[in-house]
Amino acid sequence: MPGEIDRIGLKMLRLLQGNGRLSNAELAQLAGTSPATCHRRTQALFDGGYISRVRAMIVPQKVDRGALVMVGVVLDRSTPESFAAFEKAVAKLKFILDCHLVAGDFDYFLKIRVKDMADFNRIHGEQLIALPGVRQTRTFFVMKEVVDNAPLDF
């Protein structure tokens, strides 16, 4: 761990990662600090880039996005320009949760949430294969989410 963060800071990160809705008073008590110190330390964690943002984890089925799809993408060229064009275009698509440049048989892996297979089929035909430089896609429908968005272990 970087030298800038101490034992209490790490404890605060773990606590917030487990429950981002902890009040400052609750976090202070659990971390063993005063509320004023806790508030200052929490702000320092944001300012230092240890916490990028706080957001709610929505249950996908409750908002009609119960199907999880992973898509491997191969581009027709492996150049900085083709990667940049693809990344710029994919960043605009709201149905893509994650996009990762990877090593191996694919150039990118996309994590996508959709209503169902028909919804994905429409999106694939209208938007995914039209992305700049896409030569090939390979689709993996997730049958069961065993571990999803687990907390970081540090």
**Is 142 exposed, middle or buried, given 0-12, 13-18 or 19+ CB atoms closer than 10 A?**
middle
Q: Quick: pLDDT tens for 112-148.
A: 999 999 999 999 999 999 999 999 999 999 999 999 9
- Global pTM? 0.87
CB 97 within 8 A of CB 145: no
At 119, which amino acid appears? D
Largest interatomic CA distance in the chain: 57
Distances (CA, A) of 133 to 61, 75, 82, 120: 32, 5, 6, 20
Q: Quick: pLDDT tens for 25-74.
A: 999 999 999 999 999 999 999 999 999 999 999 999 999 999 999 999 99
List the domains of the chain with CATH numbers. 7-47 (1.10.10.10), 60-141 (3.30.70.920)
